[in-house]
A and B are shown apart, each in its own frame.
Chain A
């Protein structure tokens, strides 16, 4: 019956970290003036399940710690305690502490008792004297403060007995004497929370079974400060008719006040082996083993899995239909066979696509950590900042999500530290006191674009230039465009911050950010206006991503244009075409002269049907702020395509961002609009 609890540890940790994230964002969203009970409930629930889970797995240090948090939250929930900024800060600190504890357990490290103690003390302090806990946190690390623990349940130095484990093995003839174990258990349950585990090992085969004999034995766990006499009394009648052993469970800390009995229905204790892990150590041993091989798991939206299951179901139906046809094949079933095969093809393709889709994660996985970062940083810097997240549902491949996190942290920090001004300066120049930093993610042209925008002071071109000259990064007489000037901040060793802060300003950040982004195959752009703010845009290719594409035909070749890049498709009339220097062609569209890129020319397609501009279509596209018209034979259709890398086995092709596999199994190239424009310029 022994269950290897270690197999669930991974899930527990994942859920706990998620719970911590939920608590964190809940705490950050709390509005001091008007506290929403639902919000507190959310936080409370998260804390509660962490407590329950850690109790189950024997991580007592964690469950004890969470318990104190829970008490505080419980009082807030009931309205017995006011939600104050100090309390929230204490709780946020505790969330961090819990995260570290869980991480330590996961990695098999030891928990730093000093740090935990400090946070716990802060919590206790807050519980006892609301509003004064900040001092405790501040002095916590070197704290010598004598903490007055709440009155312990038992007034001696011994750890309090918080429960009992009872091994109860009745002899075979126990039932014959008129004793009923169930009744005894019921009686025990009146003394405290009772968990019973039955051992079926002694049970004989059905044919050998005598229904009047008792072959079962039990392991009971009784929670609560019950006196040994009370237990003995329950079993008094069966003395001599059973083997009975009871062992006390000692609490690590003085027991919680009786008002808060451990809600065991949420935390069923596991069947305890002979020795009871009274602290986390025993449990940690096998935990280390479990975390030794760090598994790389991914959380997938249930709807994606449902789609997969549906598709597999359809596939099975198609397969059985096909095998039916195949069993007794006649020529007149040919049509059926063809139908079945095309169905099979379609299902397989859909299945493939949805499997690929599983790797896609919404970018909110990265974004979700920023509200906390902004909250902490802005209070540290004394600035008022609002963080806006846009396009959190944009899906990116898991690998990109993981690698994107660090560069983004750098950029957001920079915006908060260098971009946003202090509130008084802001109001002096007529801006709202609260600065805004926006994180925006969207798909564009086969890329994912992530923008970090702020409405701060912007980049000062002259200052940048002066600094670069001073550092010897550029020649004093160098002529730089605006863009080139802004890009100076990506040079190693460049920092304009007057004073170094511990947040940013050492000048090692931006060049690393750029290198990381380029390593992912992307690039990074800056736009800025002095006094108005800056925008830093990261363009990343979607290695495995799915893209809405428009198929176009050029001769007998098919290309995919990212749908997001297309503005419109139009027929061309001769009178609106102009030639530039005899070669370049432009097309007049609503007062704007658009350069025409002839696809058959630029890609050397010999089979192109439309050579005269009036014979084909012009697809007006936009890439990195520039517009142009692609001249193609025809539009074919829109479809979602899975982007495949050409570079994995081959090379980078200018004007092409990747390839995809079409319905018929052939390969079509996905056009890279900015690349095409560059190609056309050459």
Chain B
């Protein structure tokens, strides 16, 4: 893995770097510049009367940060949280305010380097599969990585002007 990281950073000419992680058997990537930190899973304080994928909030060095289970968010079923379960802390600017949120993922796998031209548009699956968070697909060593739009990912139902229902 460290070799890949090295080669990735070397090759970073005009290419983009993504942090890839897995949810079940699927692999996703987020813009690495949006990643604030990676933490291990720790118990959260539950928040009443919110969607189930919003697991709760944690104290991140004095800031109250919500934790969202990405598996549940994408309706990929629930997974038990284990020692490998990690929280990727992402930041986005929404309505001129920086927002920080943690995403529970199964495991973080790699930092990948993708040329802009190698990103394919997300195919349309119709209404059956929600692809609203996916900005594109990329192929890395024969694996398909779905690239996520962090700004959209961090929008919350009923808070931001985002109609997804």
Contact = CB atoms under 8 A, between A and B. Distances in A.
Given A666-B59, A667-B59, A653 B47 contact: yes
Contacts of A665: 59
Contacts of A668: 45
Interface string B41-54: 00111111110000
A161 interface: no
Looking at B49, B65, B100, which has the most chain A CB atoms within 10 Å of its CB? B49
Contacts of B49: 603-604, 653-655, 679
A645 interface: yes
A352 B63 CA distance: 13
Interface residues of B, number: 24
B63 A648 contact: yes
B100 A669 contact: no
B82 interface: no
Contacts of A645: 64
A278 to B, nearest CB: 51
B29 interface: no
Interface in A628-655: 644-646, 648-655
Interface size class of A (residues with CB under 8 A): 20 to 34
A653 B48 CA distance: 8
Given A646-B57, A651-B156, A651-B159, A557 B63 contact: no
Contact of A602 (B48, B66, B97): B48
A661 interface: yes
A626 to B, nearest CB: 21
A294 to B, nearest CB: 23
Given A653-B49, A666-B43, A659 B156 contact: no
B32 interface: no
A661 B59 contact: yes
A654 B64 CA distance: 17
B156 A650 contact: yes
B47 A644 contact: no
A672 B121 CA distance: 46
Interface string A667-682: 1110000000001000
Nearest to A603: B48
A351 to B, nearest CB: 12
A649 B48 CA distance: 16
A604 B48 contact: yes
A536 B156 CA distance: 35
B69 to A, nearest CB: 15
Interface string B70-111: 000000000000000000000000000101110000000000
B148 to A, nearest CB: 18
Interface of A is mostly: loop
Given A649-B64, A650-B57, A661-B62, A666 B48 contact: no
A669 B48 CA distance: 10
B58 interface: yes
B163 to A, nearest CB: 16
Interface string A572-602: 0000000000000000000000000000001
Contacts of A669: 45, 47-48
Given A644-B64, A649-B63, A666 B45 contact: yes
Contacts of A679: 49
A649 B44 CA distance: 15
A102 B87 CA distance: 54
A308 to B, nearest CB: 17
Interface in A228-253: none
B158 interface: yes
Contact of B57 (A602, A604, A654, A667): A667
A659 B48 contact: no
A649 B100 contact: yes
Contacts of A646: 57, 64
A644 B100 CA distance: 14
B66 A650 contact: yes
A544 to B, nearest CB: 11
Nearest to A606: B46
A655 B62 contact: no
A143 B46 CA distance: 72
B75 to A, nearest CB: 21
A649 B97 CA distance: 9
A649 B101 contact: yes
Contacts of A653: 47-50
Given A665-B59, A666-B59, A667-B57, A648 B64 contact: yes
Looking at B48, B59, B156, which has the most chain A CB atoms within 10 Å of its CB? B48
B106 to A, nearest CB: 23
B34 to A, nearest CB: 14
B159 A649 contact: no
Contacts of A654: 49
A669 B64 CA distance: 10
A654 B97 CA distance: 22
Contacts of B159: 650-652
B62 A650 contact: no
A679 B48 CA distance: 11
Contacts of B46: 557
A405 to B, nearest CB: 24
Interface string A143-185: 0000000000000000000000000000000000000000000
Contacts of A557: 45-46
A670 B59 CA distance: 14
A651 B48 contact: no
Interface string B143-165: 00000000000001011000000
Contacts of B63: 644, 648-649
A653 B66 CA distance: 12
B45 A655 contact: no
Contacts of B43: 666
A608 to B, nearest CB: 12
Contacts of A604: 48-49
Contacts of B66: 649-651
Nearest to B58: A667
A650 B50 CA distance: 11
Contacts of B48: 602-605, 653, 655-656, 669
Nearest to B65: A649
A645 B101 CA distance: 14
A659 B64 contact: yes
A557 B45 CA distance: 8
B45 A667 contact: yes
Looking at A557, A602, A646, A650, which has the most chain B CB atoms within 10 Å of its CB? A650
Interface string A320-353: 0000000000000000000000000000000010
6 shortest A-B CB distances, which residue pairs? A603-B48, A667-B45, A650-B66, A651-B159, A661-B59, A659-B64
Interface of A: 352, 557, 602-605, 644-646, 648-656, 659, 661, 665-669, 679
27 contacts: A603-B48, A605-B48, A644-B62, A644-B64, A645-B64, A646-B64, A648-B97, A649-B100, A650-B47, A650-B65, A650-B101, A650-B156, A651-B50, A651-B66, A653-B48, A653-B50, A655-B48, A655-B49, A659-B45, A661-B59, A661-B64, A666-B59, A667-B56, A667-B58, A669-B45, A669-B48, A679-B49
Given A650-B101, A651-B66, A667-B56, 4 more contacts: A603-B49, A652-B159, A666-B43, A666-B45
